[in-house]
Amino acid sequence: MGPPVVSRGRAATPTLGKAMLNKYARAFFTRVLTPFAAFLIRRGVSPDTVTLLGTAGVIAGALVFYPRGEFFWGTVVITLFVFSDLVDGNMARQMGRSSRWGAFLDSTLDRVADGAIFGGFALWYAGKGDDIALCAVSIFCLASGQVVSYTKARGESIGLPVAVNGLVERAERLVISLVAAGLSGLHAFGVPGIDVLLPIALWIVAVGSLVTLIQRVVTVRRESAEAEAEAEAGAGAEAAAMAAQEPTDAPRNSEATS
């Protein structure tokens, strides 16, 4: 049956820059977080528990702080709990535990956490932030992020490779939004003019998500057409092979009946 699956996420096809960043960043955080992950294992904590607690922390940071405009502290809390996504995978590797369920749980709760973050922004702009346009942009970021993830998952579920990452994926959405939110939160500490970063970031994420969605839809359409063309070509070749056999069979049949 092969070795147990220990990855709690889905393999991607990153670009060279992303691959290098992913390689060195993961190597660094693996060294830093491995002792902590080992400590949790010794204490009997499961990777799934870490995943659930991490998601709960992100939700709390987003929906408690962001709607009140406390972007700095909300981002601090979210960032601390975001590392749980690395800790649970590290624990799974150390335990050698098959994690198809863990991969599913990770992917599902990632969508919940993303919704909480952009939902927190939307609540702020719908309330004390008093900006309906940015509230709508935040909601669009929330919805488009979910659909971008769905297009890849749905394409793969019908047997297509969906060989494109797109301009703005989940990592980019979170980094752009959280960095801008954290810096914008410094406005409360007296840093002037810095609060404009969050609106700019939301517009960037919205446009980037739309472009990514279009890229993935176009890719799925192209791959689907190619797959259907290959299937039709295969069926045509099979029919031609059967037809080629009929003339050689016909004389034999006539001789047998004469």
Confidence of residue 102 (pLDDT cuts 50, 70, 90): confident
Checking if the pLDDT of 168 tops 70, the result is: yes
| Cα 131 from Cα 113, distance rounded (Å) | 23
Can 195 be counted among the known catalytic residues?
Answer: no
Checking if the pLDDT of 253 tops 60, the result is: no
Confidence of residue 174 (pLDDT cuts 50, 70, 90): very high
Checking if the pLDDT of 11 tops 70, the result is: no
The answer to whether 63 and 116 are in contact (CB under 8 A) is yes
Mean predicted confidence (pLDDT) in 111-117 = 96
Closest Cα partner for 68 from 165, 188, 177?
188
Q: Left, alpha or beta for 2 (phi > 0: left; psi -120 to 50: alpha)?
A: left
pTM of the model: 0.80
Catalytic residue among 110, 114, 130, 195: 110
pLDDT digits (tens, 9 = 90+) for 177-224: 999 999 999 999 999 999 999 999 999 999 999 999 999 999 999 999
Mean pLDDT (the chain, rounded):
85
Q: Among 18-27, 108-117, 174-183, which is the least confidently predicted range?
A: 18-27
Confidence of residue 85 (pLDDT cuts 50, 70, 90): confident
